[in-house]
Structures are given as C-alpha cells and as structure tokens.
A and B are shown apart, each in its own frame.
Chain A
Amino acid sequence: MSTRPLDEVADLVRAKNAGPFWLTLDVFLPTDEAYERVCASGVVDPVVVGGLYRTPPEKVRIFRQPTLRVIKISFPRPAVQGTLADRDMHSGQQHVLLASVPVPDALPESVG
C-alpha cells in the first residue's frame, strides 16, 4: 500500500512541554478522511511512538478527538526539562520524528 509521511498529510504536527516532566504532541488533520487514515497508521500505535522516542509503550498516552480532527500524544519527557542531558528546552523540535511516520494513502478496505 502506498504511503506518505504524516508531515504531508497533516495541517500541523507540533510538540511542546506539558510541564517540566511531560512532552506532548498534537496532530491537526484537514479532513475527516485524513483523520481516519492517520488513525489507521502507526501514529496512533504506542509501540511505534514509543520506538521513535525510546519510551516504553505503556507510558505513551494517545487521545483521539474526531470532532476537532486532532490526535494528541503525551508521554514522560525522555530527559527532564533543563537537565544536562536535555537537548530541547521547550520540546519544540521533537515533532519531527512523529511527522515522518508513514500514513496510508487510502483506508484499508473494510472486510465483508
């Protein structure tokens, strides 16, 4: 099945601190159809997201808001904000990893 990166499907993919101990990612989709395709992709899979950010999948919280066509993903920051190991004080550049996740160009055909 052909795919393209989330970056090319979404209106906006953004990342930010949610306090010093959490990182949160927001995905804004332009249409219900795009939202459904993203919901059929690794973007909403805690294993895929956890792999990108080296975070245990059970720590990854994924929220779906179909009325807003938004997906929100939150997990504990891999490094606490402002520690010597932290590379991004506001977490503002951490969206690029999620933005590369492939999204199918078409919804899988329903069975039956």
Chain B
Amino acid sequence: MTAHNEVAPSPTGPAGSVRIVFPIGMLGGWFPEETLSRALELGADAIAVDGGSTDSGPHYLGASTPKSARGAVKRDLRVMLVAARGAGIPVVVTSCGTSGTDAGVDWVADIAREIAAEEGLSFRLARIYSELSRETVLEALAAGRIDPLEPADALTAEVVESCSRIVGLMGHEPITDALAAGADLVLTGRATDTSSVAAIALGRGIAAGPAWHAAKTVECGSQCTTEPLGGGVLVEVDDEGFTIHPLNDTAAATPMTVAAHMLYENADPFRMREPAGTLDTSAAVYTAVTDRVTRVVGSIFEEAAQATIKLEGAALRGYETISLVGIRDPHILAHMDEWLDRFVTLGLGPRVRSSLGLEPDAYEVELRAYGHNAVLGDLEPAHDATDIPREVGVLLRIRAADQATATAIAKVANPIMLHLPLEGMTHLPSYAFATSPAEIERGASYEFVLQHAIRVDDERDLFRTEFEEVAP
C-alpha cells in the first residue's frame, strides 16, 4: 500500500467531514507543487493559507508593506489557484500582505488578477478589509467598548492617535459569509491565524470545537508533523474531531507532534481566545491512527457572551540610522564593557551636544556588541574574565525625530567608532567598518502600541467585503 492510499479515504472520518489543505505556514514561503496535487487526490474540499503575522515586527504594519517578495507570493498563489480552479474548490488567504492592511489585500488581489490573465482563469474574488481608522477606534474608546489585554494598560486617545495603522483581527464570520456567497478566492485583511480553516469547516456546519482546534493545529502547515519544513498537511474535520494527514511521504503526524503544536506561539497551551469565544483543548485526546496519521477528539469551544475583536496598531517613533564596526584586537575585546561605556558617556553625548546642539533626550542610542552580549544584554550571565571572544561586531542604532538628524548623530559617532581607545592607551586604534558610507539609513521606526480588544455586537461589524468577478 502506498502512502497515498494509506490516507485516502480516511480510515476514521465519518460522512459529513470536510478536508482542508494547508500547504505552508505563510504565503510566499514556498511549498512543493505536489503538495496540492496530492491533496486533490485525497479529495481536498478547500485550500487555506496564512499570508501574514506580527512575528517579524512592527515595520510591516506601520509602513503597510509586505515582508514577502512579490515573486514568491505570486508563485505560491499561482500553484494554489491553478489547482483550485481545476478542482473547483475555494482558496482562502488570510492576513494578506503580512500585516493585513487594506494595501496588503489590494497587493495580493492585484497578483491574483495577474495570475488569472496569465493562466486563463475565471473566479469570484472576495476581498475582506480589516484596517480601522483612528476615528473608528476613538469612537469605540469613547463608548467604553475597548478593554486592555494583559499586560497592557487601559487605552488612551493619545495612544490611538499615535498609530500610523490599526487593524482588527477578524474571526470566521466574514470569511464564512464570503464563501457562502460563492467566493472562489477569499483574500482577507488581518485575521486570526485560525480563522481560514475554522471558517471553511464552520461554513460546512462542522462543530466548533473540532473546527477551531483543527485550525490551530494546521496554521503553520507541516509544523505539526515530524518534518516542520516539509510539504504541508491535509486536515479532515468532522463533528467529533479531526485527523491530520501529512502530504509528504516521509513526514509523520504523531500524537506528540500534533499536541505540541498547541503550544506554539501561544501563551496558554490549553485555551485560545477567538472573536466568537474560547477554544479549550484541556480534554483533547490524541490518538495515532497509523504511524503517520493522528486523530484528535474532545476539543471544546466555549461561545462567548460578547464577541471581541483584537486590535493591532503600530506607531511611528522616529527615524533610524545604523552603522556596524568590527573589533578583532584582543586587547580591546578583553575590556568590552568598559569600551561600550566609554563610547556613550565619554564619547558621543558631549560631541553631539557641542556639534549638533542636541541634548540626550532628543535622540536614542543603542549599542549592540554582537559576540559579546547583543542578544541577551543585561540578562547575560557573568562570564569567565579569561573567556575573550574572537571578534565582536558593534552595531550602533540611532533614532531621532527625523532621518537627517539620526544620520547626523551617526556621523558624529563615526570617528568614535573608528578610533575609540581604552583608558590609558597611548595610540589611536582603528576598527573595521563593514561599509562605506558607514551610515545606513533605516527609515521610519515603528513600535506596536495596541494590546486591546473592542467589544462588538456582531463580529462582522468592523469588516468590509467587496466581491469581484475576475476573468482573464
């Protein structure tokens, strides 16, 4: 018996199940084409994939630009659309353009239209937008409908007004509606990682416990298997539970790998809040069906009395310029902490004041000594004093109100980075700059500032859906 036959038909799935393929953790991450041909052989009813995350930082939301290369997104979407149109099944892509801003949805929609023209495809496209204006959020705040989520404080109007962009994380309802209205391709703004798979399953009338737990399990594709980088998964969901089938011959979904994924990027391993309620997996039972396929039953979804929509917002905090210098001289490396202290206290502050007329509160300085303590900083445990690194890369980060000022400060810092001696040295050392010019302008610098949720009467309230017939 081949691996294909082993999983089709499912030995466990009762009638009325839905089969969803999740090829990769992020659109543009690349997956083998055979992932989808195999999933279709297994009777896939829909394709779902996530197009975004906050995990790469606040820049993508603040600047409303995607993390993934356009060509990589187009390649993955082309493979999915060609397969899906051939089989007549829908595709759902959530959190388009990394942050799920309106521009992110439009960016992926534009790519989809291009693919339709090139491949001769026709389909009904639904675009679901989730970007929120500051005014909308301020109104909700004034109405007392916004609550902080731990560890945030109560929201203030000032914080809302500081946001360059705000998105709400949609749940399943807008996506289920779009599919019910005949959408072949659903492209959404920011959504919870689980909303695509849950929406497909709930739209087929599947019970909420298995639907949401299945969705959480496959939201990173193969990560719930023994080969996190391999080939995607097919999940078969029914009213009693769900079954995970890896789409790669050598990967296995074991009770351990499937259960462990509930831990991933989740603060609480048993409970996960969604707009409509809370998934509770504390009573879930994970059983091996074969040595490669695992079945899960016993998951519960507690419907919330009040639907809530979590917010994400990024605020502009200034502009950043960086430079990088290497230190290889063991005489300096033996005294790195002293060198770093001298840089800021003796070197930079007085020179910036006298040259640029700026007090220390007008700019921010971060020195990161890679090879010494850049990653852990003050948390770094004490080292043996005789343990000297081979070399250290010192990254200077300057942030100021505008780019020109940040760069000017970095230029004032340049001769210090080039030559700063230790106390008592009678010659001027020179260190190893990586680039010319040494200063690299990083542009706008954003920070996440919202960890709050809006109480809504209906979880569709904050989102807008547009339908479109796409033809070659």
B374 close to chain A: CB less than 8 A? yes
A93 close to chain B: CB less than 8 A? yes
Contact A20 B451 (CB under 8 A): yes
In whole angstroms, how far apart are the Cα atoms of A33 and B317 in the complex? 50
Contact B267 A20 (CB under 8 A): no
Instruction: Give min CB distance, A44 to chain B, whole Å.
Output: 14
B295 close to chain A: CB less than 8 A? no
20 contacts between A and B (CB under 8 A): A16-B265, A19-B451, A20-B312, A24-B265, A26-B264, A28-B260, A63-B268, A76-B151, A78-B379, A80-B447, A80-B448, A81-B58, A82-B446, A82-B447, A87-B374, A87-B375, A90-B56, A93-B375, A96-B376, A97-B379
A65 close to chain B: CB less than 8 A? yes
Residues from 317 to 344 in B contacting A, C-beta threshold 8 Å: 317, 320
B203 close to chain A: CB less than 8 A? no
Top 3 A-B pairs ranked by shortest CB distance?
A82-B57, A76-B151, A74-B267
Max count, chain A CB within 10 A of own CB: residue among B59, B264, B269, B445: B269
Please tell me which stretch of A34-42, A52-60, A103-111 contacts chain B, meaning at least 4 of its Cβ atoms lie within 8 angstroms of it.
Answer: A52-60
Contact B264 A63 (CB under 8 A): no
A contacts with B, residue count (CB < 8 A): 38
Contact B55 A90 (CB under 8 A): yes
Contact A61 B268 (CB under 8 A): yes
Once A16-B264, A26-B263, A97-B376 are accepted as A-B contacts, the answer to whether A81 and B151 lie under 8 Å apart by CB is no
Instruction: Give min CB distance, A42 to chain B, whole Å.
Output: 14
Closest B residue to A21 by CB, please name it: B451
In whole angstroms, how far apart are the Cα atoms of A65 and B263 in the complex? 10
Contact B269 A82 (CB under 8 A): no
Contact A82 B267 (CB under 8 A): no
In whole angstroms, how far apart are the Cα atoms of A23 and B448 in the complex? 15
Contact B381 A68 (CB under 8 A): no
Max count, chain B CB within 10 A of own CB: residue among A20, A28, A63: A20
Contact B375 A81 (CB under 8 A): no
B172 close to chain A: CB less than 8 A? no
B190 close to chain A: CB less than 8 A? no
Contact A18 B59 (CB under 8 A): no
Contact A87 B368 (CB under 8 A): yes
What are the residues of chain B within 8 A of A80 when measuring CB–CB?
447-448
Contact A84 B397 (CB under 8 A): yes
Contact A97 B377 (CB under 8 A): no
What are the residues of chain B within 8 A of A20 when measuring CB–CB?
54, 58, 312, 448, 451
What are the residues of chain A within 8 A of B3 when measuring CB–CB?
none
Contact A70 B451 (CB under 8 A): no
Once A28-B260, A96-B376 are accepted as A-B contacts, the answer to whether A84 and B267 lie under 8 Å apart by CB is no
Instruction: Give min CB distance, A68 to chain B, whole Å.
Output: 5
Contact B55 A17 (CB under 8 A): yes
Residues from 368 to 399 in B contacting A, C-beta threshold 8 Å: 368, 374-379, 381, 397, 399
B249 close to chain A: CB less than 8 A? no
14 new A-B contacts at CB < 8 Å, known A17-B265, A78-B379, A82-B59: A16-B264, A19-B451, A20-B448, A24-B263, A52-B379, A54-B378, A68-B256, A74-B267, A74-B268, A80-B448, A82-B446, A87-B368, A89-B55, A100-B381
A2 close to chain B: CB less than 8 A? no
In whole angstroms, how far apart are the Cα atoms of A53 and B151 in the complex? 16
Instruction: Give min CB distance, B410 to chain A, whole Å.
Output: 14
Contact B445 A97 (CB under 8 A): no
In whole angstroms, how far apart are the Cα atoms of A16 and B220 in the complex? 14
Instruction: Give min CB distance, A16 to chain B, whole Å.
Output: 5
What are the residues of chain A within 8 A of B264 when measuring CB–CB?
16, 26
Instruction: Give min CB distance, B18 to chain A, whole Å.
Output: 27
B355 close to chain A: CB less than 8 A? no
Closest A residue to B62 by CB, please name it: A82
Once A52-B379, A82-B58 are accepted as A-B contacts, the answer to whether A68 and B259 lie under 8 Å apart by CB is yes
Instruction: Give min CB distance, A18 to chain B, whole Å.
Output: 4
